[in-house]
Structure 1
Amino acid sequence: MNRQKKYSFALVAICIMLVAGAATAVVSAQQGKVVSSYGPTNQDVTFDQIKSARMAVKAERAKQHAELLNSRYDLSKKVHTEAVMSGGKHLPVGPTAKLKGVTWEQLGKMTPEQIKGKGVFPYKPLPFADHAEGGMLFPEMITKTLPRLVRFDLDFDLPEHILPDTAPGIYLTTRPDLGDIAKGRLITIDNYYEIFNGILNPKQLEGLRLLVTQFPQQQFNATEDRRTDRPSLGVTCFDCHANGHTNGANHLVGDIRPQEFRHRIETPTLRGVNIQQLFGSQRALKTVEDFTEFEQRAAYFDGDICMAAKKGVNILERGSQVHFMAEFLAILDFPPASKLNIYGKLDRSLASPDELRGETLFNGKAQCSACHPSPYYTDNTMHNLRAERFYKQEVANGMMMAHDGPIKTFPLRGIKDSPPYLHDGRCFTLEDTVEYFNLVQQLQLTAKEKQDLVAFLMSL
């Protein structure tokens, strides 16, 4: 018996015992619904019944979510006329958050208690498109190219103009002379070999193959409990991390229960993982190998090992497959930043006055460098911003707006390529991000200082 079969049989045995235990708990419960850490694994409903139940609530939940987004944000298309991402897409302009009865200047002078009491904090936690359901959700700009990623029960919720490039650039630390290797192409199983053969070594090429290979996932699988019309082989790492970067796809964090306390998670970029020491927005995994295994064994199935056993978890071999994937990821570079010197700081002969003022603020009054020091603008640790000081704990469209907890300090190199921002994407633009930290850190920045900070961030 091979290793994967032994692992699967063991998990099935555990799940049978857990389901039996859960059934006993339900029978013995006198009032209300028993809250379980486990999802239902028994096949007592058909695919048609699952689809019918989901379609019955689709329109109403989409309407509720759209109303929430429109109440919080200005979703109209506003982009820079000149500033672009490394792939050529124009940057979205903000702030997009809507204020209620106050100005940004007035808000910046209020205490956390005053903001919370008046209910005017503009950057509350962002629910998933259907928080009670969850799962991986892909933007239309990706599903047009990869229709296998279309969910019948959910449509993507954010406008395309605040998302990254559809086919982001790929830059390699080993071959900077090649510049963007992708050149507008989305890397998939159909073209990875043609594009990278002769550039990567055999281990890296095999690692890339695994990164563009479909593996079963909670909503994309071959069982009746799926969210695609046809049985699916699953998803690939690069379905979310397009070209080793991100496309704005999102899902729910797998390691929190019950469902309403789970956080929306925005897909982070994989650029620059070679200089990072923590992986995952909130999980603090210590190596990219750990993260790769975590994704396949748990995160793909909402952190439920029983669902993983049922739907076909892919057990990657650590010494070869995981290692090969990590070896490729380790050479993904940040996009070029022509105005930065060898220390990751602005070259004064190339930078504009507003960028230089922004750098001074970044390292001074704004205290950004306390967590984001040069040259890569991360301190490789986690911080708890305690944003819950500014809003009440209440339910919003099926999500409990509780605390965020510790968040990884992501590198800011190439940050203009990665909207929307924060772990759950609640800040749609760099301007929104500056406004958020101005409030959370209680900096009381002026309007001009905020503009200069944004200018500096765009130069990274």
Structure 2
Amino acid sequence: MKKWLMLWRSATGLALLCLLPSISVAQAPDKPPTSYSPVVPSETFETTVQRMSAAKAEVMQRQMDLLKERYDLSNTPADGVTMARGKAVQSGVRAKLPDGVTWEMLAEMSPAHIRNQGLWPKGFLPLPHPHHAEGGMVFPQFHIDEIKKQEGRDLTRFDLDYDLPDHFLPAYPPPIYLTTRPDLGDVSQGKVVTIDNYFDLFDGILNPKQIEGLRLLVTPFPQQQFNQTHDRRTLKASRGVTCFDCHVNGHTNSATHLVGDIRPQQFRHRIDTPSLRGVNIQRLFGSQRALKSIEDFTEFEQRAAYFDGDPVIATKKGVNVLERGSQVHFMAEFQALLNFPPAPKLDVFGKLDPAKATEAELRGEKVFSGKARCAECHPAPYYTDNLMHDLKTERFFKPQMVNGRMAAMDGPIKTFPLRGIKDSPPYLHDERLLTLEDTVEFHNLVLGTKLTAQEKADLVAFLLCL
């Protein structure tokens, strides 16, 4: 009895202490930084929808103001150059220069001078996610519309939209070329491949393992923002996303996301969804992760990238744990069939055929292999060295916060193949370069190659042949 009374008095004392003003929650220290996402939401789903929907217009306006400050966003097609199915390739340098500065002037300056004077073009800084503090997968509207039409699955987010204008994105739907059946040309029949039509399109062309791999690539699985939990970013409970929601038809629609392997949030990089064409000749996967096989990449995407690299939240939301020996193998086997688009001006060694190329294209090939130093990382025939390189862009600008993204450095980036490059805008690992002309100017400064205006134009002409 005595022991019970002492416990009662102790509990009562603690309860009274909790009522004292000096112990209020408001005076508690800020929460320490953490690598983990909260498992239990701090507000109801209805409150989250109302709050984030109300903020959406302001969030998107801030991002659009940034894009307009950085770039010329006009629809200005190149003469006589198209992607697949006739979509125009955008022309010209779109990154805006600081007042009173020309590209030729910048090329003569040292990185330290550019950095100290704040002259680095803002369009060459890392590009933030449409809402960097929130992140997550975001899809172009044309893809949202097509998937809703075919499957009734809605990829609309109530908190934000995709940001880059459609005319800077790849042709949709992209063609599919198979290494096993080049005689068939485009096997997509002009359609977006989904769970509803994959079997009809590929039965009789693929073997059973490859068909099963394709089925898994077009099957929706839960993802961080698209799932059934109350911390999703869709109004209705979602079946999730598919691999081909980003890598449409084994290519890309330039859907964006944030890398899952960097913390804290402001240092995470925006993702440009790379094409899966030509993965059979690649030895590294992921823009920065240096994964060693397409099987590693496939498994990593499902287990980690889908959930921002957080296995705790993945368990809650329904992570799809693939079986390595069969499912991952089947998915990888199909991906390895995806071929680059035809390049009629290239010979069997990936070089220009002089009988088919123009004088400007041939001059551009010489610049590519010589003065511009492109071929040191992008050698023929596939125009990749299957390595990673750090361009050390931080030499040119001071660290700065831009729309929630800490622009500090890029680090080592995978050398992407340049075959079919005109079909895969925008460029660099985070979509900051809108055109091939932007890409040439960027590397001219970063590599210090001091190309002339004619050499830059010739180089672009060559890249369009790849």
Give 1:108's aligned residue. 107
Alignment of 1:174-189 (within 5 A): 174-189=180-195
Which amino acid is 2:136 matched to? G
Give 1:262's aligned residue. 268
Q: Secondary structure at the match of 2:80?
A: strand
CA shift for structure 1 position 108: 1.3
Give 1:238's aligned residue. 244
Which amino acid is 2:239 matched to? L
Give 1:20's aligned residue. none
Give 1:173's aligned residue. 179
Which amino acid is 1:73 matched to? Y
CA shift for structure 1 position 54: 1.3
Give 1:93's aligned residue. 91
CA shift for structure 1 position 115: 1.2
Give 1:53's aligned residue. 51
Answer yes or no: is the 8 Å Cα contact 1:128–1:134 preserved in 2: yes
1:183-228 CA distances to partner (integer Å, 9 max, x unpaired)? 3211111111111000000000000000000000000000111111
Does residue 399 of structure 1 match 2:397? no
Which amino acid is 1:405 matched to? G
Alignment of 1:246-257 (within 5 A): 246-257=252-263
For 1:294 and 1:183, the matched residues in 2 are separated by 31
CA shift for structure 1 position 32: 3.4
Which of 363, 367, 379 is 1:357 aligned to? 363
Give 1:22's aligned residue. none
CA shift for structure 1 position 373: 0.4
Q: Secondary structure at the match of 2:257?
A: strand
Q: Output the TM-score relative to the length of structure 2.
A: 0.91
Comparing 29-38 and 210-219, the one that deviates more: 29-38
Give 2:301's aligned residue. 295
Which amino acid is 1:109 matched to? E
For 1:149 and 1:32, the matched residues in 2 are separated by 35
Q: Secondary structure at the match of 1:455?
A: helix
CA shift for structure 1 position 31: 4.1
Which amino acid is 1:116 matched to? R
Answer yes or no: is the 8 Å Cα contact 1:94–1:428 preserved in 2: no
Q: Secondary structure at the match of 2:429?
A: coil
Q: Secondary structure at the match of 1:341?
A: coil
Which amino acid is 1:282 matched to? Q
Answer yes or no: is the 8 Å Cα contact 1:430–1:454 preserved in 2: yes
For 2:93 and 2:266, the matched residues in 1 are separated by 28
Give 2:144's aligned residue. 143
For 1:195 and 1:202, the matched residues in 2 are separated by 13
CA shift for structure 1 position 76: 1.1
Which amino acid is 2:119 matched to? V
Q: Secondary structure at the match of 2:84?
A: coil
For 2:230 and 2:308, the matched residues in 1 are separated by 17
Does residue 209 of structure 1 match 2:207? no
Which amino acid is 1:84 matched to? T
Which amino acid is 1:249 matched to? A
For 2:90 and 2:110, the matched residues in 1 are separated by 29
Answer yes or no: is the 8 Å Cα contact 1:301–1:307 preserved in 2: yes
Give 1:84's aligned residue. 82
Alignment of 1:116-155 (within 5 A): 116-122=115-121, 123-147=124-148, 148-155=154-161
1:156-186 CA distances to partner (integer Å, 9 max, x unpaired)? 1000000001100100000000001113211
For 1:43 and 1:419, the matched residues in 2 are separated by 37
Q: Which runs of at least 4 in structure 1 moved beyond 6 Å after TM superposition?
A: none
Bigger radius of gyration: 2
Task: Provide the aligned length of Structure 1 versus Structure 2.
Answer: 434
Give 2:16's aligned residue. none
For 1:425 and 1:129, the matched residues in 2 are separated by 12
For 2:438 and 2:267, the matched residues in 1 are separated by 24
Give 1:14's aligned residue. none
Which amino acid is 1:139 matched to? P
For 2:188 and 2:451, the matched residues in 1 are separated by 39
CA shift for structure 1 position 87: 3.2
1:220-264 CA distances to partner (integer Å, 9 max, x unpaired)? 000111111110010000000000000010000000000001000
Q: Secondary structure at the match of 1:65?
A: helix
Which amino acid is 1:304 matched to? D
Alignment of 1:309-324 (within 5 A): 309-324=315-330
For 1:443 and 1:44, the matched residues in 2 are separated by 53
Comparing 210-219 and 97-106, the one that deviates more: 97-106
Which amino acid is 2:60 matched to? A
For 2:54 and 2:261, the matched residues in 1 are separated by 28
CA shift for structure 1 position 105: 1.1
For 1:44 and 1:445, the matched residues in 2 are separated by 55
Give 2:60's aligned residue. 62
Q: Secondary structure at the match of 1:369?
A: helix
Q: Output the TM-score relative to the length of structure 1.
A: 0.93
RMSD between aligned alpha carbons? 1.3
CA shift for structure 1 position 81: 3.0
Change (3 A) 1:364 1:266: same
Give 1:421's aligned residue. 427
Which amino acid is 1:176 matched to? P
CA shift for structure 1 position 146: 1.8
Which amino acid is 2:104 matched to? E
Answer yes or no: is the 8 Å Cα contact 2:59–2:160 preserved in 1: no
Answer yes or no: is the 8 Å Cα contact 2:391–2:412 preserved in 1: yes
CA shift for structure 1 position 144: 1.6
Answer yes or no: is the 8 Å Cα contact 2:174–2:251 preserved in 1: yes
For 2:28 and 2:118, the matched residues in 1 are separated by 38
Which amino acid is 2:217 matched to? L
